[in-house]
Amino acid sequence: MPYPNAARAGLGPLAQEAAQVIYQHRMLSTRQLHQLITPHHAHAEYMRRQLHTLRTAGLADTVGRRRRGQTELLWWLTDKGAQAVESVGLLPPRPYRMSTVAAMGPLQEHTLATVETGLAFVTHARRLRHECGPLDWSPENAHAYRDEARPGEDLAFIPDAVLNYVHTDRERRTRTMLTFFIEVDRTQMTIARLAAKLHAYAAYEKFAPQPTGPRARRSPAAPAWRARYPAFPRLLLVLTGASPARLERRIADLRSLATSDPLLATTPLRIGVTTLEQLSEHGPFAPIFTPVLGLAELNDAWLRIAYPAAPLPA
C-alpha cells in the first residue's frame, strides 16, 4: 500500500502490506499476521514493530483476547486506515468498518477461525511450492440466486470465503487454478441450518437467469456462476469449536441430512468436510475431507469422488 504519507508516518513496505491484509480480512491476530507475512522470521517481534507503526499513525487499533492463559492482540483498521488502503485502489473496496465494539463482539471467533483456515492453505502452499498468499481469499461476497422451491424470491448466500489456489505439478509441468467456497462452522448453528446452506449452493449451481430482449427465445440461459468462475468451485466445510468426537458426529449428521434433500442428492457439487485441526496439521492435499455426498471415503481437496446420483463435471 503506497500510502501517500507513508514516509512521514514511518511506514515501511511491510507495514503497508500488513494494512492491506488487515483490510482484506477485517481482523487478525499478531501471530496470524506474522505467519502470513513474515514466516521467515523466527519470532513475531519484527511484525509487532511494524504493526506498532500503523497504530502510532492512527491507521490501526487493537483489542485483547485471552488465549491459552495469555493475552494476544487482534488488529483491525481504523476509518483512517481503511481509507488509506482504499485510496490506492489495489483491493476491491469493502463497505464494512471495524470498531472496538465489533472487534470484541460475537463474530470475533468466527472471523479469526476463517483467517486460520486461509492461513492453513497459505502455510501448506509454501511447503508444497504451490501458490496461495495472504490476499488469495476474499471473505463474505454475496451470490444471488433463485430456488425453484421458493418461486418469486430473490435470494443470496454469502460464503465465509472464496479462496483461489494454484496447484503446481512439477513432474507433469502443469498448473491448475482451483477455487474453493469455504464455510467455517464453529458448531454455533444447528445441523439443519448448515444443511440448508448447502442447499443454497446447489440451487445456485442450477440457477440460470432468463435472458431478456429480442434474442431471449433463441439464446439458452447460462448458469449465473459462469460469469464469475471458469468452473464451479469445490465447497469445503471446516469444523471447529468442539471436541473431535462431537465434530465427527456432526459430520455424520450432516451427511445424513444432505442425502435426504432431493436437490442435494442429485447435485454435481463436490462438497467435503474436515476439521480445522486436521487442515492446519496436514494441509488441504492430504486425505482429510469426508465427502458430504456419495461414498464416505476420505479425499483431499480435489474431491475426486464418484457420486452415485450424478456424474461429476469435467
Higher pLDDT, 172 or 107: 107
- For residues 298 and 280, what is the distance between their CA atoms, to the nearest angstrom? 17
Residue 296 inside a domain? The answer is no
Residue 305 inside a domain? The answer is no
The number of beta carbons lying within 10 Å of the beta carbon of residue 113 is: 18
Is the pLDDT confidence value at 290 over 80? yes
What pLDDT sits at residue 9?
57
Q: Poorest-confidence range of 132-136, 190-194, 303-307?
A: 303-307
Residue 310 inside a domain? The answer is no
According to DSSP, the residues that pair with 177 across neighbouring strands are: 166
List pLDDT tens digits, range 258-271: 999 999 988 999 99
Domain that residue 240 falls in: 110-291
Q: Are 17 and 6 in contact (CB under 8 A)?
A: no
Same domain for 20 and 141, yes or no, is: no
Same domain for 162 and 240, yes or no, is: yes
Which of the four pLDDT bands, split at 50, 70 and 90, describes residue 312? Answer: very low
List pLDDT tens digits, range 189-248: 999 999 999 999 999 999 998 776 655 565 668 899 999 999 999 999 999 999 999 999
Q: Are 179 and 152 in contact (CB under 8 A)?
A: no
- Single pTM value for the model: 0.91
Question: Which residue among 105, 136, 170 closes a domain?
Answer: 105
Is the pLDDT confidence value at 289 over 60? yes
Residue 211 inside a domain? The answer is yes
Instruction: Kindly report the CATH number assigned to the domain that includes residue 246.
Output: 3.40.1350
Domain count, the chain: 2
Same domain for 124 and 210, yes or no, is: yes
Which of the four pLDDT bands, split at 50, 70 and 90, describes residue 46? Answer: very high
Q: List CB contacts of 244: < 8 A, sequence separation 6 or more.
A: 275, 277
Residue 55 identity: R
Same domain for 33 and 166, yes or no, is: no
Same domain for 118 and 94, yes or no, is: no
Is the pLDDT confidence value at 150 over 90? no
Higher pLDDT, 11 or 239: 239
Instruction: Kindly report the CATH number assigned to the domain that includes residue 15.
Output: 1.10.10.10
